[in-house]
Structures are given as C-alpha cells and as structure tokens.
Structure 1
Amino acid sequence: HKVVNGTVGEPLIPALCPLPFPVDPWGVEVITPNDLNGLKPLGGGRKRHYVVLGCGKTGVDTVVYLQRKMRVDPKRDITLIVPQVPWCYTRDGPRGPHGPMGLWAEVLKNGGDRDRALRELGRQGSLTPLFEGTEPTVCRYPVIGKDELQDVARVGHIVRRGRIRSVTRSGDQVSLNFRGRGGKVKVKAAADDVCLVNCCAPGPLLKKAVPPVFDGNIINLSLLFGPPVGFTMTIIGMIEASAQQGLLDASFCREEIGCEDPLALFAAYDIMDTSARSMMEVFLNLGLVAAIMRKDPAVTLRWLKRNRLSMYSIPFVQMNLAEKLHEISAKRSALGVSRGKARMALALARKIEGQAF
C-alpha cells in the first residue's frame, strides 16, 4: 500500500489567505469574491465602489462578475489594481486552452529564450496582453476570452503602480499606499462606500519546494506537466498501475538510460520555475510516458487517445515529440539541460520514432 499526498498543489484561495498588507481597521470594508453573492446593499441609495486587488484570473473573474451579475457601473464604481501586466491565453486563439504546451515548444524552438517565445505567441494570437498596447511582465497561464477582455477594458479606474504596501483611512478618504516609488492613490469614493475585494491569493502558484512524484511508499501529486492539471493525475495513476502490474519497460530504462528504477526518472515539474531547463522536463516526462509506460509505445498511444483529459484525445493533435526530444539533445547547452538528460532524450526519441506522439 502507498500513501497518496494530494496536498502538494493545494491552492491558496482568498477565503483562506488574508491580504498580504495591513488595512486600516477603522472602517474599510474587505471581502473576498465569494462574499459578493450575499452582499447586502448600502442604505440611503448609496453605491459601493469596488477596489479589486489583483489582476490575475481571480481578479478578472471578479471584474466580469461585478458587471454581468451585479450590474456595477465599471466606469464609475470599479477600481482595478494591477501590480503586474499578465500575458493571457486567448480562449478564442489558434491553440485555445492548450496554450501552455505551445509556450514550452516555442521556448525550445527559440533555444531557451522565454521572452522571445512569449512575444512570438503574442504575434500568433495564442497570447494577448490583459490590456491592449501594454508590455506584459508575467505569464501565469490564465485563459481569457475576448468578451472578458472587453469587460476589463471598460473599467474606469486602472491603477498600475506596483504592489500595495498598506491601505489607510483618514476621515472620509481611503488611500492606497504603494511600495517604492508607487506613491499614494486616493480612492475616488467616500470611505464608507469603499469595498476592497481580496483577489491577491496565489492560487496554485505557490513558491514552495516541489517533492518528487514517486517517493518510496508515498505518491506526491506534483505536476508532471503544466495545466490542465487533470492530465497529470491520470498519468500518475496509470504509471503506478503499470508499475504494480510489472508492465513498465524496465529493461529499456536499465539498458538504454542506465537506471534501475523507472519511477525515479520522472521529475516533478515546478510551475513557478520559468527556466528553459525546467520547461524541458515536461517533454522529457512525456517522452518517458510514451516510451516506458508499456513496452510497446503504440499501446500507450492508444490509451492516450482514449483519455479525455489528454491533448491526444483531440483529433489530429500531434506533438512531434520525437523531434522535440532530438532538439532538446541538440540544444542542450542553451537550454541548460544536463548531459545525462540529453542522453535520455535521445534514447526516448529513438524508441518512439515513427509513432504519432
């Protein structure tokens, strides 16, 4: 029996994560997005002015909800705080919600230059800045539709001064105090009408050590690939089942890679590590799945095509995985990949060549 640790990627949501800066305790309302649905109206015909703290997926969803469900006037009654301008995957783009794999492929194509890869995907239409005409500074995999981008563009008060240091109240005025040279911004509403919406939680993007997936008698549900998360979970389950039944190609691992334990070859993917080396682990893990989950890669491919959480279940999708593994070996130095990993990439590529991975 093994213990399955499902807490590795447990997200921090606003309801469980207090604001990372102090707020004046004297009369500044603070809520989470979950509180919006049950929020009671203010008396005397007054309207709240919502200050949305954060512009990640939660912040964008909050802006959309305020307009579509609560009929809040975006020009007058919403302020959006933008610490960093994000790249967003376009739901209507050429690669749809499967864009993260496209980013890693573009990084490989550009010899490890992530910034150039992001710009190229922006040119292709797979990525878009949250605000038209701005230069994004971060990419954390939000998927957003054109209609949602239009909702964000309607917001009348957008503040881009970095991260907030504190929120204070003086009389009938609420001030947002920013770090460094960000200065101070006064909210354009009476203090009693200001409502801070906490969208600052990191979600699944946590800055903490990522444990190995297969660790003795413990299976840690770390990522093998990026989003969607469900695909990794199905793969972990299938790998473990194959290991228990003796179906992994252990002889290939021993003779071609020089490793006695096939499970030790799988490296947990740290989604917060933006280095090219880390991104290449995704292709190496996928290559391992293709090459060793069964002795015959064709059996694995058939299973992947029947797995509805797999990109291979989409008709005509093909990753050209063998080519990418050859490319990783050839560009080893530029990508920061070790010699051992490069040799493994070659061995995996040779085994799956001719298969439609």
Structure 2
Amino acid sequence: MADFETDYLIVGAGAVGLAFADTLVDEDPDCHITFVDKHAKPGGHWNDAYGFVALHQPSATYGVNSLEFQTEHIDEHGPNKGLHALASGTEVLAYFEKVMNLKLLPTGRVEYHRLSEYKGRNEAGDARIVSIFSGEETTVKVRRRIVDATYYQTSVPSTHTRNFAVAGGVEVVPPGHLPELWKRTDNLPDHYVILGAGKTAMDTGVWLIEGGVDPDRISWVRPRESWLWNRVYTQPGEDFIERVIDMQIGLLEAASKAGNGDEWMRLLGEQGYYLKIDEDSEPEMFHYATISQGEVDILRRIKNVIRKGRVTSIERGKLIFGEDAVELPDNTLFIDCTATAVPFRARRNDRPVFDGDTITLRPLHIPLVTFSATVAAFLEANFDDDATRNALAQPGPLTDTPATFPYAFMVTMMNRGAWAQNPEISAWLTKSRLDLASPTIAKLVAENSPKLAVLSKFQEAIAENMPHLARLGMQAKQIHEAQV
C-alpha cells in the first residue's frame, strides 16, 4: 500500500516543472500535485549556476504565468540599456522560492519533497521517492500522471565533467569562482583563458572586462562561432511589438530566398535580426543564446581568440590541442565554460508530450521552455483526450546549428497556427504573461492602435512564405535526425 496519493508527480522543481504546476493549479482547482527534486531549494540548475549569471531574455518572458519578477523594468545603463531588465541568478532563485512558498504550497494541494530522487515505479505501480540523505523510501500512488520536467537535462559549469586533462599545478576553475578573486589581490593571475564558445563564455568575457581586466590579458578558446539572437527583437510590450513582428516577417521572407538553413541565417544576420561576435566568420552554431549589441561590442575587444579546435589537455603555461599547442604565461587562470547547457544528442526522445500515464515536458514554442510548459498544463486541464492534446502540442527540437534551425522554427509556427485556430487556447494566450506577443496584440486590438498595421503584413507573410518555410524545415529535419 502506498504511503500517500497524488494526482500528478512532477519530477523536477526547476523552472519548467514550476511553470507547469503554476498553470495546472489555476486551471484545475481539484488536482493535487507532488514535487520531487534533488536540490535543497526550488529552481533546478539555477541553484548550481555561477554567481554573475543572468537571464538571456527579458525577465517579463520567464518564470511562471501568475507571478511577475519584481525587477521588470527598462534598464537605464550598461550593455542592456533601453531594453527590459534581465534578472540575476540570485533574483531568479528568490523568485522561484516565492512561487513555491507563497503560491503553490499555500494552496494545500501541493507537496514538495526536496533532496529526494524519483526511482521509478515498484511492482504495484506506485512511484518510489528516495531521500538523498537518509535513503528512506516513500511510495506514492499517482492517480493521473507522472510529469517528467527533466527532459532538458541542463548542465552548468559547476556540475559538468571536463573532457580534457589537467596537469598538476594548473589552475582551472568554473566561472562561479571568479568573484572570489578579490580575496587574493596579492596574487592575481597574469593572464585569463576562457574555455568555451557558448553564452557562459560570453558572460564571463563581459564580466572580466567590466570588472577591469585588460582585454589584452584575456585569451578566448573559441572552436566555433555562433549566431546570436539580437535581444532588441525579443522584447515584450507595446513599445517593442512592431520590432517583434518585424523579425517574424523577416524570418518568413528570408525562407523564400534561402536554399538551406545556413543561407537563411546568413540573410537574417545581414538584416540585423541575428548577431555574431566575429564579423568575418561563418558561424557553425546556434544555441538560442540572446545577446545585446552592447555585449557584442564588449566581447569584440578580446582580440586573442584561439581557433585550434577543442582543448585536449592543459599544462602549466600551455594549452594543448592534440598535436598542436599554445604557449601562455605560467600564472594563467583557465576558466572552464565548456559545459553544454542542453545536451542535444543525449535527449533523443520520440515520446509525445502526452502519453498514457506520463507527460514529458518538451519545447512547443522554441526556445521558450517555461511558456511551453504552461501551454502543456493548460492542454492537460482543458482538453479531454491525448490525441487532441498532442495535435496541439507537437514537440520541437532544440536544434544547435543554423542548418537545423528551420526545423525548430517550422514546428513553432505550426503549433502557433493550431493555437490561433482554437478559440479556447487563443483566448487564454491573450492573458498569458509568458507569451511574448498575444497579450500586447489583444490590447492594441481593443484600442484599435495604428501599430497593428504590421500585423496584417505578418499575416500576408505567413500566407506567402509558409510553403518555403516548410521546404527548409523538412530539409533541416532530415539533417537534425541524422545527427542525433
């Protein structure tokens, strides 16, 4: 006999699991939810992130539907000046604690098992929860579904395993150790090496330069270049809605001119919708990182860029790349930013979002993972069968190259089209805090605003260019599936 019962067992109390639960408790006032999570506090990987981490996207488009961040304002200084604020990691953790402690638990319909692991089901079909510290096992009868909120398997520098060797006497640290340098002012590094080409490495470069490190004392191992979302086109609210829709029109129109995903991204870069750090490069990556032009300008000050592939080992005063090597000062601090935020190859999962006794939270509007989770919760609470739900929730891939990105964009557009045709979902989206455009468009429609002129252009672009997008998307789908 199980120790207790619940309607939904959510595995993972990170951003995705919390976003799902927040919407579900509002849409289904009779349901009971139980969380199980390894961390001591809600927030998932944010508990392990480096101290100066911040959101890539505006705070107003992240988190849960029912609660705003306290810091939702327009930045008036720094590289993000003129754009919506980006919550710091500390603010994100405080926000998620507030969601759990002030929104979910007070309902009396939510339980939270922290520092615990889900160990599958026993022979009776009950879920097994095991305490990390005591090893004590609790069994749970799940009346409806288990919700897997761990699909993204997010990795951060402090928890990942290095894939290169480090000799004795070499100082290699995750970026989270950098704020501790103030304690050793009599023995600061002579040189800094950033290892990795992703957004963590970019954050590290900006942090070092803004902290006063001479860019000439920084080397950056950047095996590949990446396209980056220009943050100015991802802003919520009516002051930015024309830019947001303009980018969507640009994406659609470029699809009609491009022969493949690489050409498509190149066209979009020429129009400023996407940015790159090295203006003379042809980026091979696209991991959905969002950045401001101000941040790009700072990063371009780092001229010592090492392009010899991936590091295989580090010795004192030396970086080794297979048969090649780069000499560096002996007192060099190596900063490991090589963790893959989302391990693309490790997450091949052909299960639909809604599948019998399991819900697997996957991206529906790529890459807005918390928004996707809220949509899944709305579908669970308001539609009667999985066939209908899954028809409205086609999971898309978090692709990682320009060549494969059209696949992800195609799936997003197909889902958005299906939601627009469903009156119930469409009405709910106009009230969704996490939807970048729908609430603003609804407000402008009510006001008969002249800003809506761009919306008719968007509808024309859809009608004219969806066949071209489908062509690119299916081509990209084949490439993506061959890779994973």
TM-score relative to the length of structure 2: 0.56
1:73 and 1:323 mapped to 2: Cα distance?
Answer: 47
2:105 corresponds to: none
Change over 3 Å in CA distance of 1:168–1:106 after alignment to 2: farther
Deviation of the 1:127 alpha carbon: 0.9
Equivalent residues in 2 for 1:303-318, closer than 5 Å: 303-311=428-436, 312-315=438-441, 316=452, 318=455
2:192 pairs with one of 50, 54, 60: 50
Change over 3 Å in CA distance of 1:128–1:28 after alignment to 2: same
Deviations 1:203-227 (A, max 9, x none): 1253221342111111111111212
- Is it true that 1:141 corresponds to 2:288 in the alignment? yes
CA contact (8 A) 1:283 1:325 kept: no
1:264 corresponds to: 390
Deviation of the 1:289 alpha carbon: 2.4
1:22 pairs with one of 153, 165, 169: 165
Per the alignment, in what secondary structure is the counterpart of residue 14 of structure 1?
A: coil
CA contact (8 A) 1:14 1:32 kept: yes
1:240 corresponds to: 380
1:343 corresponds to: none
Change over 3 Å in CA distance of 1:201–1:106 after alignment to 2: farther
2:176 corresponds to: 34
Deviations 1:81-117 (A, max 9, x none): 111011112223x555969967863564346621121
2:348 corresponds to: 209
Q: Which amino acid aligns with 1:178?
A: F
CA contact (8 A) 1:52 1:79 kept: yes
- Is it true that 1:75 corresponds to 2:216 in the alignment? yes
1:43 and 1:331 mapped to 2: Cα distance?
Answer: 55
Deviations 1:210-259 (A, max 9, x none): 3421111111111112122222111111111112xx4xxx8xxxxxxxxx
1:263 and 1:23 mapped to 2: Cα distance?
Answer: 50
Q: Which amino acid aligns with 1:177?
A: I
2:225 corresponds to: 85
Equivalent residues in 2 for 1:125-204, closer than 5 Å: 125-169=272-316, 174-179=317-322, 183-187=324-328, 189-190=329-330, 193-204=331-342
1:103 and 1:22 mapped to 2: Cα distance?
Answer: 45
Deviation of the 1:47 alpha carbon: 3.2
Q: Which amino acid aligns with 1:309?
A: L
TM-score relative to the length of structure 1: 0.75
2:318 and 2:367 mapped to 1: Cα distance?
Answer: 37
Deviation of the 1:291 alpha carbon: 3.0
Change over 3 Å in CA distance of 1:322–1:242 after alignment to 2: farther
1:103 and 1:229 mapped to 2: Cα distance?
Answer: 23
1:154 and 1:118 mapped to 2: Cα distance?
Answer: 24
Deviation of the 1:314 alpha carbon: 3.3
Equivalent residues in 2 for 1:194-343, closer than 5 Å: 194-207=332-345, 208-210=347-349, 211-243=351-383, 246=384, 261-265=387-391, 266-272=393-399, 274=404, 276-292=406-422, 297=423, 299-311=424-436, 312-315=438-441, 316=452, 318=455, 320=458, 324=462, 328=466, 335-336=473-474
1:347 corresponds to: none
Deviations 1:163-182 (A, max 9, x none): 1122223xxxx2212247xx
Deviation of the 1:30 alpha carbon: 1.2
Q: Which amino acid aligns with 2:194?
A: V
1:335 and 1:107 mapped to 2: Cα distance?
Answer: 13
CA contact (8 A) 1:277 1:336 kept: yes
CA contact (8 A) 2:230 2:275 kept: yes
2:177 and 2:145 mapped to 1: Cα distance?
Answer: 39
CA contact (8 A) 1:22 1:165 kept: yes
Q: Which amino acid aligns with 2:208?
A: L
1:64 and 1:302 mapped to 2: Cα distance?
Answer: 41
CA contact (8 A) 1:287 1:321 kept: no
Structure 1 residue ranges without an equivalent (≥5): 251-259, 338-357
Q: How many residues align?
A: 305
Per the alignment, in what secondary structure is the counterpart of residue 283 of structure 1?
A: helix
Change over 3 Å in CA distance of 1:328–1:205 after alignment to 2: farther
1:89 and 1:275 mapped to 2: Cα distance?
Answer: 12
Deviations 1:133-183 (A, max 9, x none): 3222222111111221122122242112221122223xxxx2212247xx2
What's the % identity of the aligned pairs? 28
Deviation of the 1:64 alpha carbon: 1.0
CA contact (8 A) 2:366 2:408 kept: no
Change over 3 Å in CA distance of 1:175–1:323 after alignment to 2: same
Deviation of the 1:66 alpha carbon: 1.3
Per the alignment, in what secondary structure is the counterpart of residue 140 of structure 1?
A: coil
